[in-house]
Chain A
Amino acid sequence: MDDTEQRDPEDIAPSVIERYYTRWYRADMKGKPCEDHCVLQHSNRICVVTLAETHPILQNGRTITSINYQISDGCSRLKNKVSGKSKRGGQFLTDFAPLCRITCSDETEYTIYSCIRGRLLEVNESILKTPKLLLEKPATEGYIAVILPKFDESKSITENLLSREDFEESSPNGLLANRSPPDGARCSRPVPSPSCCGCVYLPSVPTRLDKKRNCGCHPGKVTFTCGDS
């Protein structure tokens, strides 16, 4: 334990997330600039959906006024129940299934999506009671939901997502370095074209495009800049 003396407390051995989870990102969810999501995948394939550090909710000292897991009249994520080892009865989610809607004090509303296909195991009810958790610890106690991908899809579900490296590269100023919220100054990271043909165009680096979903109407690199469109 001699060397612990010299260790910088901020720079310790990898954290729980770094030890057991892989971080994946979906940038500009549904084409909405900077609405980045983060998926933490455990080595046992379980995924925890969180807000990325760059998400507008976490910028400019916003406060949250409401979090709503009732995503439509007929569907509430709070009603999700799983039973047994095989987690029977959980709602099955696709990549773009909304998990909840979050309203900030400035009346802006954001929808958080599942990002991956899988069975919903639980949503974080703690953030309903203490919305502050979402702002203060977005990567841990402020998580949104836990999703279990199908066993044989546990690898492929992250193919459409950005690795942490790619995600950081896509924002040249660094991950947390002054990425501006979409309603403020410009975001320099390329964002996709607004839906031109109704197809699902995945806003990520072209090489990571899901080929099945690529409709072919976006030849070459489509580069847009926040606020330009």
Chain B
Amino acid sequence: MEGVRVQEAEACFLPPLETRVKEPILRQPAAMLPLKEKDKPIVQKLLSAGCCARCILRFCCTRVQAAYRQPEQETLKELLAFISNPQDPAALESNGDNKSHDAAVSESTGDNNPHDAAEDPPSKRAKLEPSETTAGSEEKEEEDAAAKSRVCVVCLGILQEFCDTAQAVKIAEAVKAEKYEFDSVMCSVSLPAQLCVREHSCWLHVKKEVRDKILVLDKDDIIPLKEAFKWVVQGLVSKGLGGVAMVNKGGLEVGVEFTHEATDADCHFLASVCPDCFKPGKKKQSVFTRMAVVKALEKISEAKFLKHYPCPPTRTSSCCSLQGVQCLHVSLFIAGRYNKFSRTLPQTPWLIDGERRMESSVEELIGASVLSSFRAEGFNFSSSGREDVDVRTLGNGRPFAMELLNPHRSRLSRAEMKQLQETINESSDKIRVRDLQIVSRDAMSRMKEGEEEKTKSYTALVWTRKPIQSDDIIFIDDIKELTLDQKTPLRVLHRRALAVRQRVVHSMSARFLDQHHFHLELKTQAGTYIKEFVHGDFGRTKPNLCELLQTDTDILELDVESVDVDWPPAIPE
């Protein structure tokens, strides 16, 4: 907790520090970095372990983004200058402008004597150095040189060469090539899982170093690698894309994925130590997912970890490689109402044993034009209920909504939407669409809410075995608010739970056609199975029309006349 407080204090003091720094003509490198005396041993330790400058800032919990954005070599120089600074605060002051820095230190450490804090490191360093590196200062120098030139042991180059402007331009170009139209960009980074192991190892390395210091450094206080990477790269990518806004959610997601095959084996020891964290899944290519590795690292004891893995992590000569840039635009939602004029057109593709039963479907007829307008990769279709393949939907139609996946275009004007609607309607005479509009994701749920409560109107063509009498017509017309007990129809029992559901037929009216046929108009509660009400479904819907008319009845045709859901809002023609 103290660590967090220190950071906050630092942040508060930073602006005056920066303004003061700019005043002297001679810019003092070390002054740029918001580091304090007690960071020194950490910086020293990490430098010699082969950490890059930006990773060192992360381990020092520096949240000053500007410090990450400056060129890595510069930061490194400043770090080297910082640790080679005399330990005496007075000397620091004479070396440049360090008043404010010092002030920050004394403020943030509270009642701690800044002299104590400053004097501590050298003795510590003196104590530790011989045990750490068995050789003398020559080797130390060598190591420093290695740290400068070599790939960072923690980030494997992520915060080094991949933070270059050139890399950011490359990412921006990859995005441009996909020809998206977008308002904002969100950056997502996928890193090899072994970076967690390396970070953990490094953390144990410095934790040991600062154990008896005042600063209580917790692993959570370390700036996540992803975050630091984004601080540096996001702005550069945004610039490359013409200054588009960078956001944390929504818009175009630009995913960069890094791998580092040479060190993939870093994680493997965890599987033998924590086998329960690594269970093979169906979709997983490897059990060593980032999540699993993080979980295992939380479980594993320090001693066990150190037994199996070097601390600090071993150096490698190669950088991570950028696997590619994946672009994914957030889904877009559109809604409308559709009519279906065909009795051989299913709502969604009808597959039996993987084979197609009917040629097209409502969703495909609508989807084709929509996909090409929005240049989307796919869609999910949903609607307020659904009709059978042999049922028409007339009247104002049935509300539907579509989630467009990865649309390359996300804005259509009202006129363009109208044009799209016309294109759909001209493409087929089996369906018709109206009220087509772009909606929010939340608005879609309103359609589903209305599904069970609202009423629906139907017209059925009914056959009767006995000749129909005029009494029968009057009898039917008089029926109001008839409650049915419907057992799940056998027709859908394979995919719905078996239950008796009560549904209300609000009203009915019969139109005589001939002795054995009449048109039955019904207004019912949504969710009423009309076909079963007419033929009885083996007596499983009660009462049913056979029972009411005391003869066998069957349904020959069915039309949905209206679906009374007031969403989406009507759009005047």
Contact = CB atoms under 8 A, between A and B. Distances in A.
A16 B554 contact: yes
A83 B514 CA distance: 44
B312 interface: no
Given A12-B463, A13-B556, A4 B490 contact: no
Contacts of B464: 9
A133 B547 CA distance: 13
A44 to B, nearest CB: 4
Interface in A1-40: 1, 4-5, 7, 9-10, 12-13, 15-16, 20
Q: Tell me the dominant secondary structure on chain A's binding face.
A: loop
A91 B535 CA distance: 29
B494 A45 contact: yes
Contacts of B492: 44
A20 B491 contact: yes
A12 B554 contact: yes
Interface string B507-518: 000000111110
B514 A4 contact: yes
B498 A87 contact: yes
Contacts of B536: 140-141
A4 B498 contact: no
Contacts of A146: 490, 493
A121 B491 contact: no
B495 A85 contact: yes
Contact of B516 (A4, A20, A87): A4
Contact of A44 (B465, B491, B554): B491
A46 interface: yes
Contacts of A124: 538-539
Nearest to A15: B554
Contacts of B177: none
A143 B463 CA distance: 23
Give the most central of B464, B490, B495: most A CB within 10 Å.
B490
Give the most central of A20, A146, A148: most B CB within 10 Å.
A146
A132 interface: no
Interface residues of B, number: 27
A44 B539 contact: no
Given A9-B465, A44-B493, A1 B513 contact: yes
Interface string A96-126: 0000000000000000000000000110101
Given A15-B554, A16-B554, A121-B498, A46 B493 contact: yes
Interface in A39-65: 42-46, 48
Contacts of B352: 43
Nearest to A141: B539
Contacts of B513: 1, 4
Interface band, chain A: 20 to 34
Given A1-B513, A4-B514, A140-B538, A48 B497 contact: no
B307 interface: no
Contact of B538 (A83, A87, A143): A143
A22 B494 CA distance: 16
Contacts, number: 71
Interface string B496-526: 1110000000000000011111000000000
A175 interface: no
A84 interface: yes
B469 to A, nearest CB: 14
B510 to A, nearest CB: 15
Contacts of B517: 1, 4
Contacts of B514: 1, 4-5
Contacts of B498: 82, 87, 121-122
Interface in B226-262: none
B540 to A, nearest CB: 9
A46 B494 contact: yes
Contact of B491 (A1, A42, A126): A42
Contacts of B493: 44, 46, 121, 146, 148
Given A1-B517, A15-B554, A140 B494 contact: no
Contact of B490 (A13, A46, A83): A46
A85 B498 CA distance: 8
Give the most central of A5, A7, A9, A13: most B CB within 10 Å.
A9
A33 B539 CA distance: 30
Nearest to B537: A16
Give the most central of A16, A45, A133: most B CB within 10 Å.
A16
A13 B516 CA distance: 12
A4 B468 CA distance: 14
Nearest to A13: B556
Contacts of A143: 538
A82 B535 CA distance: 25
A177 to B, nearest CB: 23
Given A42-B491, A48-B490, A83 B497 contact: yes
Given A16-B554, A44-B493, A7 B516 contact: yes
A5 B516 CA distance: 8
A199 to B, nearest CB: 34
Nearest to B498: A82
A121 B464 CA distance: 30
Interface string B431-462: 00000000000000000000000000000010
Contacts of B461: 1
A1 B465 CA distance: 17
Interface of B: 352, 461, 463-465, 467, 487, 490-498, 513-517, 535-536, 538-539, 554, 556
19 contacts: A1-B517, A9-B463, A9-B464, A13-B554, A16-B535, A16-B554, A42-B490, A43-B352, A44-B493, A46-B493, A46-B494, A82-B497, A82-B498, A121-B498, A124-B538, A143-B538, A146-B493, A148-B493, A148-B494
Given A4-B517, A9-B467, 6 more contacts: A7-B516, A13-B556, A44-B490, A44-B492, A48-B490, A84-B497
